Amino acid sequence: MKEIKVFHNAIKDVPAIASKIKENQKKIIGTLCSYAPEELIYAAGFHPMRLFSSKSDIVLAEQHLQAYCCSLVRGVLEDSLSGQLDFLYGTVFPHTCDSIQRLSDIWRMNGRYEFFADVVLPAKVNTQSARTYMVDVLTKFKKDLETAAGREITDTDLRDSIKKFNLIRKNLSKIYALQSKKPGIIKGADLYAIVKGSMVMDRDEVADLLPAIVANLEKMDAPEKCGKRIVVSGSICDSPDIYTAIEAAGGVIVGDDLCTGQRWFEGEVLNDGNPVNAIATRYMDRIICPAKHSSPTARGENMISLARKNRADGVIFMLLKFCDPHAFDYPYLKEFLEKEGIKNLLIEMDDQQQNLGQLSTRFETFIHYI
Amino acid sequence: MSDKLAEKIKIKSAKRMRDIMTTYYLDAMTAGQNNKQVAWITSGGPVEPLVAMDIIPIYPENHGAMIGASKMGEDLCIKAENMGYSSDLCSYARTDISCSVVKGGPIGGLPKPDMLICCNNICGTVLKWYEVQARFYNVPLFILDTPICHTRYSSEIARYVRAQIDEYIVFLETITKRKFDYDKMARVGKLAYESQLLWQKVLNTTAHKPSPMSAFDAFFFLALIVTLRGTQIAVDFYKDLLEEMEQRIKDGISMVPDEKYRLLWDNLPVWYRLKWLSQKFSDHNACLVADTYTSAWCGAIKYTDENHFLDSMAEAYTRIYLNIGVDQMADQVLDMIKFYDADGFLMHSNRSCKPYSFGQMDIMKIVREKADIPVLMIEADMVDPRSFSQSQVETRIDAFMEIIKQRSS
Ligand code: SF4
Ligand code: SF4
C-alpha cells in the first residue's frame, strides 16, 4: 500500500522529516511521554515530535547517567548531547517515572535548546483535586507556549487541533480494530511504522494518509491462515524486527498496551466546552500508564479486557531493562492473566541493542506452546 | 583502639534509643490486641495526622534498613525476584514485598496494616510499591501526590497539595470512624516542629572540629525523627542527645580519634557495611561528618509554620530534598560542604534509588568546579549486597584518601 510506504520511508530518516518541517517554518518540540499534550503544541503552531533513541553507542550520556538507567532515557540523552537533535526548538517533559524526572533536570541543566517546559501532571488521576491541578498545569503550559510562539492560542486554534488529533487517533484505532478482526491484513512492521510515523511526522500529512489506509484495509479480506493472536504490553517497542520475529514465530499482533501504541492513541477529546478541560478529561479517563495511579488494579483489569476483546491467545510483555513502573506491575499483571488462563511471556530488552536470534527462539517456543 | 577509649567515645543515648525503638515495635506488634490501628507510611510521608488520630505509623523503609543492617537483604531480595520482581527494583520495596509474604526479617515481618499512606515526594517507586501492598493486604490506600518542583514551588502545586491534606483527613476519619481532633493536631504539629529543630541542631554539632559524632551515628539516630516525629518522646530524646553532643564537644570527645579529614556523604547508607565503612574511614583519620540523607528530615523546616501546621504542611512536604531539581540539590550540597568544612565528597551511587542517584554525576561536576574538593563515587546498593564489591570499594577509598591527604599537606 503506497500510503504505508510513506510512513516507512519517513521514519527511516527522522532528521529528514525535521528539516522538511523546518522548511515549512515550523519549530519542533520534542516529547518523551504519551502524556505530552500534543494538541496544545500543535495549536501553538509548533510541531510535536516524540523522541526515540537513535540507538547510537552511549558515550556522552555516560557522563550524566549511570548504567542502571533505562536505555530509552540514556539513548535520548546521548542523541541530544551528540547534537543529533539540534533540529529541536525545544522539549517538554511531562512527569512520568523517576528516570524521566531526572532526565528533565539533566536536560535543562545542560540545555541546548531555546524552549524547555516541565509539565508536571498529577501522578493520580482519580480525584477532583487532581483534575483541577491537571487543568491548572495544562493552562500554564498553554501560556508558556503562547509566550514562545509570540501569539495567543485561541479556542478555535485549539478546537481545530483537537479535531486533527482526534481524527488521527480514531483512524489508528480503526486500523487496530481491523487488524484484530481480520488478523494479518497488516504486517506488524507496517503497524509499527504507521504508529511511529504518527508520532513524528507532520500531522496534517498523517491525517491525510490514515483514512486512505483504513479504507483500503476495510476492503481487504482476512488472510486465510491466521497465526496465534498476540497482545504485546510494555513501555515502548521501538523495533520493527521484533514484530517481524513474532510473526515469523507464528504469531499475529492483534493489540497492544504500549506507551507507543494503543495507550497513547486510545480515547477521544470531547470537542465541546472548554478545550483545555476537555484535554484534561481525556488524560483523566484514559487507560493509565504504570507511572500513574487510578486504582491498585486498574491496569490488571484493563489488561484482561484488552486480551478478551482481542481474543488473545497470549500476551508478550516486552519490558525495558531498568524500567521501574513496568517491572512493578509485571508480577500482578501476569497473575491476573493466569487467573484467566491467558498464557504470557516476559522479554526483558534493551532499547539500545537486541539479540534477535535469541528473541526469535523464545517467541517460537512460546507461540508453539500456546 | 583500647577498650577504655572505645567506652569513652560511645554515645550513651544509643541504648535509650534502642529501648525506645523496641517499645515502639512491640506496641505496633500488639496494636490489634489494644484496639489500635496501624498505618504503613512512606518515610517522607505526613505522619502528624496519624499521630493526632492515635494511629500507629509503621515505616517499611525503616524496616528495610533493619533488614539491610542485619544482613538479611540478599535472601529477601531473592525471594522477591522469585515472585517475579526484577532485581533492578528498589531493595526496600523488594524486601518489604517478600517479607509480607514470608514473614521474614529480623522481627518476623511487620504488623498488618489497616491502611496505607503513600507520599511520592521521595520517588515514584513508593507509588508502585504501595499499590502492590494495597492488593496484597486489601486495605485502603491514600496517596499524597506532591508534584516535583524542578525549578519552583508553584501556586498550582500549593493548591493541589493543600487540597489533598484535607482529603487525607477525611480518609482518616472514614477509616477510623472518628472525628479528626484539630486541637490535638496543633499540639502534634508543634512537637513535630520542635523535634525537627532539635534534629537539625544535633546534626549541626558535627560542624565542630573534631566532630562529636559521625554520619554513621546520624544514620542510626535518624530512626526516631522518622518514626516518632510529633511525639513528646522524640522531643525529649533529641533534647538529651543534643545535650550529650554539646557535652562531648566541651569534653573534647570526638567520634574519630585524631580526626584530620572531614567528609560529606551523599545518598542512603550502605546498611550492610556500616561498620566496615566507618572503620575504614576511621583508619584514615577521616570522619563522615554529615550527609544529604539524614538532613532530609529537617531540611524543609523553613517552610513549616508551627502555629499553622496543617496549612504549611503542603509546602514542607513538597519541597524536600529529593523532590527538587538536581541543580537545587547541588546548591544544598555546596552549602553543606561549606558549613561542615568538608575536605571531600563521597557519593554512593545507589542502584536501588534512581531519583537519588540520577543527577549525581552532574552534582559531582558542579562540586568539583565550585567547591574544588575531591569527589568519589562508589557503586553499591543500600540493602542488596550483591552489587557491592568490597575490594574494589576499598581500593577506591584508599586512593581517594591519598588525594585528600596530599591536598591538605
Ligand atoms: S521505559 Fe520505563 S524507566 Fe524508561 S522512561 Fe519509560 S517509564 Fe521511565
Ligand atoms: S530508596 Fe529511593 S526508590 Fe527506594 S523507596 Fe527510598 S526514595 Fe524510593
Domains and CATH numbers, chain A: 14-156 (3.40.50.11890)
Closest CA–CA distance from residue B239 to any residue of chain A (Å): 37
Pocket lining: A235 vs ligand 1, CB cutoff 6 Å = yes
Q: How far is A148 from chain B (nearest CA, A)?
A: 18
Residue in B61, B292, B294 to alter for ligand 2 test, most ligand atoms within 8 A of Cβ: B61
**Contact yes or no for B229/B297 (Cβ under 8 A):** yes
pLDDT band of B26, cuts 50, 70, 90: very high
User: Chain B contacts of A291, Cβ < 8 Å?
Assistant: 124, 127
Domain residues of chain B, as ranges? 3-181, 184-408
- Atom 8, ligand 1: residue with shortest CA distance: A97
Give the pLDDT confidence of A159-180 residue by residue, as tens digits: 999 999 999 999 999 999 999 9
Q: Relative to the alpha carbon of B95, which ligand is closest? A: 2
**In percent, how much of chain B has pLDDT > 90?**
94
| Among B139, B141, B148, B318, the residue to mutate for chain A (most A Cβ within 10 A) | B148
For domain B184-408, the question of CATH label 3.40.50.11900 is answered with yes
pLDDT in tens, B217-256: 999 999 999 999 999 999 999 999 999 999 999 999 999 9
Find chain B residues with C-beta within 8 A of A293's C-beta.
Answer: 127, 131, 143
pLDDT tens figures, A205-248: 999 999 999 999 999 999 988 899 999 999 988 888 899 999 99
Residue A93 confidence class, pLDDT cut points 50, 70, 90: very high
The pLDDT, as a whole number, for residue B2 is 72
Chain A positions touching B123 (Cβ under 8 A) are: 98
- Distance from the CA of A99 to the center of ligand 1, in angstroms? 7
- How far A279 CA sits from the closest chain B CA (Å)? 18
pLDDT band at A352; cut points 50, 70, 90: confident
Question: Cβ(A72) to ligand 1 under 6 A?
Answer: yes
Task: Please check the confidence at residue B291 and state whether its pLDDT lies above 80.
Answer: yes
pLDDT value at position B7?
86
Determine the distance separating the centroid of ligand 1 and the alpha carbon of A177, expressed in angstroms.
27
Tell me the HSE value of B179 on the side-chain side, using a 13 A CA sphere. 4
Q: Is the pLDDT of residue B337 over 70?
A: yes
Alpha carbon separation from B241 to A256, B234, B297 (Å, rounded): 58, 10, 16
Task: Give the pLDDT band of residue B1 (cuts 50, 70, 90).
Answer: low
Alpha carbons B228 and B250: distance in angstroms, whole number: 29
Cα distances (angstroms) measured from residue B76 to each of B81, B91, B100: 9, 9, 10
CA distance B9 to B15: 14
Confidence at residue B311, expressed as pLDDT on a 0 to 100 scale: 92
Closest approach of chain B CAs to the CA of A172, in angstroms?
Answer: 30
pLDDT band at B8 (very low <50, low <70, confident <90, very high): confident
* CATH class of the domain comprising B3-181: alpha beta
| Residue whose grid cell is 526496600 | B92
Please determine whether the domains at B3-181 and B184-408 fall in the same fold group of CATH. Answer: yes
ipTM for the whole complex: 0.96
Q: How far apart are CA A145 and CA B221, in angstroms?
A: 48
Average pLDDT over residues B77-94: 98
Q: pLDDT for A49-68, tens place per residue?
A: 999 999 999 999 999 999 99
Q: Is the pLDDT of residue B275 over 90?
A: yes
Instruction: Nearest by CB to B128, from A110, A120, A324: name it.
Output: A324
Mean pLDDT computed over every residue of chain B = 96
For ligand 1, atom 6, name the residue with the nearest CA.
A235
| A354 pLDDT higher than 80 | no
- B-contacting residues in A 178-207 (Cβ below 8 Å): none
pTM reported for the whole predicted model: 0.96
> Position of cell 483545555?
A276
Say if the Cβ atoms of A127 and B362 lie within 8 Å: no
Closest CA to A93 of A148, A137, A133: A137
Residue B123 Cβ < 6 Å to ligand 2? yes
B226 touches ligand 2 (CB under 6 Å): no
Query: Given B84, B163, B164, which is nearest A331 (Cβ)?
Result: B84
Q: Is residue A168 exposed (0-12), middle (13-18) or buried (19+ Cβ within 10 Å)?
A: buried
